[in-house]
Chains A and B, each alone.
Chain A
């Protein structure tokens, strides 16, 4: 008798979970698709060396500029390097550009935005003038100026992207904190004798962080594009490291005779971009307070 009921329950649980997932999918397909694609990209990035069929750097002059075939899925470049392997390894390079040049600005920007918005006064004024100066220049102009001063290279590219990147987060968070610090729960927290840091970190931050997280998702895409563009210009990642922007730059001269050189790295950028955009979209509708 008991066994029978238990069995029934077990049977009942599974479709329940499945229908939960279905409901979630119906409500927020972008999030599920985004999570799936981003995890796929991350897995590829981690497994790239074992997935790549050929050495991405070694030259093979017998197979220069060969079109896509079963031997070379995406063809080869002017040195006979396998494009497919290079795109796979490039996932690693570009993803780390996207992640590193978002995580640091994310942390610095939020910290500065919190302090600026919460304490206000002279400090806020000073920090916001720094922000204004930064905003006055177009993104690429500023990054290229910094790189021109520091000199090209991967580390310098990171420095430039971080120096410019925190601004957006600081602005977003400051605005949110300005609203949040006048809410009743902050007043209540102050009246209960909580310290400023406790109020900022434990009470305000969780309430203001979601726009920054959503922005970070599209920022990953932007940073990958920026990394590619800088690679294309020869200011960031240097050849022969397989980076998508660099690969597109190399393929430029063969765009009519061997278009696969530029098309496949370009596609890779597009796919990663769409994945993170979907994730960002999905998160934004998930974190929007009215939907919870």
Chain B
């Protein structure tokens, strides 16, 4: 299995008044062919900016300061802007969090799907429309011939997210970046969308980067997981490994603070104390050290790189060996 996407030492910084916000700080990971990678972390941990960096769509004043992004072994950081237009949407496409605002209210749903097809492929209007109908059927929208002519406000949230997925899949991209696509939906719809993406991913053999803050979704959907915190990846491993043998206090803290089905009233949830650090002018050292129960002096000396724990398991904790090796 080759890697379709390889991100190396990505740094996306926002230069604002009063300093620099390191939204994405030295992040490296790979996405294999047909693999689902979960990007987990709390709000503001740099998940979305990582996705947008992959498409080179970082909003100002942010910019990608350094790093390499390889798509099929080609470095897209060296591509000119007009080359990227064929890459975005056709090769790598994105589904956004907010289905209520991500569709343009002034065009019909069908027009928006057709437009995407016509933007990237030279097919006739009629063929594009037929494909739009097929796509809508594929994502489970009933009566697509009729709903094609409807406007976004006539769709419910879940149906709009299906439309967004149909648009994102319109040109059969190799990679789908899903930026918290189920966060704005209620739980039953959330489950349907996750199943839908999983089915489509297996059927089309594409790779997915699924951004979420929900560990339950990760368990259900992902092959591998990258845990992000304050713009860095703290742990990167297989999903089973993550739940059974996590090697980072932050990941463990996250899992302890999630209610599970068999939580009894007696066993309380354990929250992670404190707040995430201010990303403005973040000091060197482990970003989690102030909330970590295992903090030692060494934690604040310098940035802690990801270290190999075992095959395919990396952790950025300086004490992972002494804490969990036995």
Contacts and interface: CB of A to CB of B under 8 A. Distances in A.
A139 interface: no
A207 interface: yes
Interface stretch (B101-109, B255-263, B271-279): B101-109
Contact-residue bracket for chain B: 20 to 34
B88 A192 contact: yes
Contacts of A203: 104, 107
A206 interface: yes
B307 to A, nearest CB: 34
Interface string A178-222: 000011110111111111001000110011000000000000000
A120 interface: yes
B86 A207 contact: no
Given A192-B89, A207-B106, A187 B119 contact: no
B57 A191 contact: yes
Interface of A is mostly: helix
Given A120-B60, A182-B59, A206-B106, A192 B116 contact: yes
B209 interface: no
A182 B55 CA distance: 16
Contacts, number: 69
Interface of B is mostly: mixed
A138 B103 CA distance: 42
A203 B102 CA distance: 12
A206 B106 CA distance: 7
Interface string A268-284: 00000000000000000
Given A193-B87, A193-B88, A193-B90, A188 B103 contact: yes
Contacts of B167: 188, 192
Interface string B104-141: 11110000000110011000000000000000000000
Interface stretch (B1-9, B31-39, B92-100): B92-100
Top-3 shortest CB links A-B: A193-B89, A193-B88, A192-B89
Interface of B: 55, 57, 59-60, 84-90, 93-94, 96-98, 101-107, 115-116, 119-120, 164, 167-168, 177
16 contacts: A183-B101, A184-B97, A184-B98, A184-B101, A187-B102, A188-B96, A188-B102, A188-B164, A190-B55, A191-B55, A191-B88, A192-B94, A193-B86, A193-B119, A193-B120, A195-B85
